[in-house]
Amino acid sequence: MFYSDQVILEIVQLELTSRCNEQCVHCYISDGIKRHDMDSMLLWDILNQCRNIGIKQVVFSGGEPMLHPDFLNAVDRTTWDGVKIRILSNLTELNDTIIEKLKINKAHIKEIQTSLYSVDPVIHDKVTNVPGSCELTKQGIKKLTEQNIPVFITCPITTINKNSYPDVLAFAKRLGLRSGPNNMITAQSDGSGKNLQYRLDINDAVQVIQDILDNDNAYDDKRFFPGYHNLDDALPCVQNICKNSIFVNVRGEIIPQPGWNKVLGDITKKTLLDIWQNSPDVINMRKINLNDFPKCITCPDIHFCVMSLEGNANENPQGDPFVIPDYLCAYARYARILVHSYHMAKEVIV
């Protein structure tokens, strides 16, 4: 474990590959750049560094990480004392060999996270643009669950699957799995904003909040409860940024968040530790706080804020992470009103 100004680097997320066998309409990686695998020698070097630092969690993501030719070896090499692995995958490439590998290393597997957009193949496959993908993802979920490998199902909500998430959460519940909807699609990292055509309009996004409140026993989603954000730690979006985690893209560049083309360092030139400790860009990123967002300081909706620096940057023509899209403030305002009404109604009933 490494300490720097009381900041501990614990989590490293690796973009094993930008390649993917799906073309999800909302994906923050635009199709044009889904082409490259992380060089295996670079991958071994990064994992060695992670081992030496004593990283507690390595996240394998992509693109589709199971497409990397050395995916199995990567799992094998992430088994030092105290490390856990998370894998973000669409599970369509899951096969018996991978399941066996995950079983052997079960002690190190924290969770496999997968996205199910609908239990209805017509809708799910319309999001992924791959016929048959829904069945493969569902089968993958079931196979992992049979082996007691923990799966978390996320359901990013787009205009295509806006009515599907309750069935997805029910599907997860039947299998005894944790799950959660995500109704906040961030803009693509190429700045084109093309994927935002699939983001819910504000009325539909608000409807999701209402639905979650109406079913809050089923939806264990703390985002909608006041007091969730600790204001001493500034805005939620900056609470974690370069505080305990870092992201490495397919080229070995350090970025603050997945889907944000803001390079803070290059692992092919400097060590992970050196970048974490000394990169001026990392240090500056770590210093961002509430004072950098004057309009947020007195905002009554801050407990409900889902604004993110990468979302701001990707949505802004100049790539400015400090310019907040109006949509997000409107969303937080509605969320506060709905949640307060919900609690007031509950108090009246009690």
CA dihedral sign of residues 276, 278, 281, 283: positive
Query: Judged by CB, which is closer to ligand SAM: 133, or 279?
Result: 133
Query: Judged by CB, which is closer to ligand SAM: 167, or 292?
Result: 167
Query: Judged by CB, which is closer to ligand SF4: 37, or 275?
Result: 37
Q: Report what 299 binds from ligand SAM, ligand SF4, none; CB cut-off 5-8 Å by kind.
A: ligand SF4
Query: Judged by CB, which is closer to ligand SAM: 20, or 74?
Result: 20
- Name which position in 20, 151, 157, 338 contacts ligand SF4 (CB under 6 A): 20
Helix or strand or coil: residue 152?
Answer: strand
Contact assessment for residue 127 and residue 157, using Cβ atoms and an 8 Å cutoff: no
Helix H or strand E segment including 23 = none
Q: Report what 185 binds from ligand SAM, ligand SF4, none; CB cut-off 5-8 Å by kind.
A: ligand SAM
Query: Judged by CB, which is closer to ligand SF4: 91, or 282?
Result: 91
Residue 174 CB neighbour total at 10 angstroms: 8
Instruction: Give the bridge partners for 112, in sequence order.
Output: 87, 151
Helix or strand or coil: residue 68?
Answer: coil
Q: Helix 133-146 and helix 121-128: axis angle, to 10°?
A: 100
Residue 38 CB neighbour total at 10 angstroms: 24
Q: Report what 301 binds from ligand SF4, ligand SAM, none; CB cut-off 5-8 Å by kind.
A: ligand SF4
Query: Judged by CB, which is closer to ligand SF4: 54, or 193?
Result: 193
Query: Which 198-217 residues touch ligand SF4, going by CB under 6 A?
Result: none
DSSP string for 87-106: EE---TT--HHHHHHHHHTG
Contact assessment for residue 142 and residue 96, using Cβ atoms and an 8 Å cutoff: no
Q: Which amino acid is at 96?
A: D
> Which residues are within 8 A (CB) of 304 and not within 5 positions of it... i.e. 6 or more apart?
223, 224, 226, 331, 332, 333, 335, 336, 339
Q: How far is the CB of 111 from ligand SF4 (least distance, A)?
A: 16
> Which residues of the shown chain bind ligand SAM in the complex (CB under 6 A)?
20, 26-28, 61-62, 64, 88-90, 114-115, 154, 156, 185-186, 195
* Both tokens assigned to 46: 């990064």
Site for ligand SF4 contains 328 (CB under 6 A): yes
Site for ligand SF4 contains 23 (CB under 6 A): yes
Query: Which 53-82 residues touch ligand SF4, going by CB under 6 A?
Result: 62-64
Query: Judged by CB, which is closer to ligand SF4: 90, or 179?
Result: 90
Contact assessment for residue 246 and residue 272, using Cβ atoms and an 8 Å cutoff: yes
CA distances from 338 to 53, 80, 286, 301, 341 (A): 45, 46, 33, 11, 5
Stretch of 43-51, 103-111, 117-125, 302-310 lying at the interface with ligand SF4 (CB under 6 A): 302-310
Query: Which 90-149 residues touch ligand SF4, going by CB under 6 A?
Result: 90, 128
Q: How far is the CB of 241 from ligand SAM (least distance, A)?
A: 17
Q: Report what 85 binds from ligand SF4, ligand SAM, none; CB cut-off 5-8 Å by kind.
A: none
For residues 180 and 219, what is the distance between their CA atoms, to the nearest angstrom? 7
Q: Which residues here bind ligand SF4, judged by CB under 6 A?
A: 20, 22-24, 27, 29, 62-64, 90, 128, 293, 295-296, 299, 301-302, 305, 307, 324, 328-329, 332
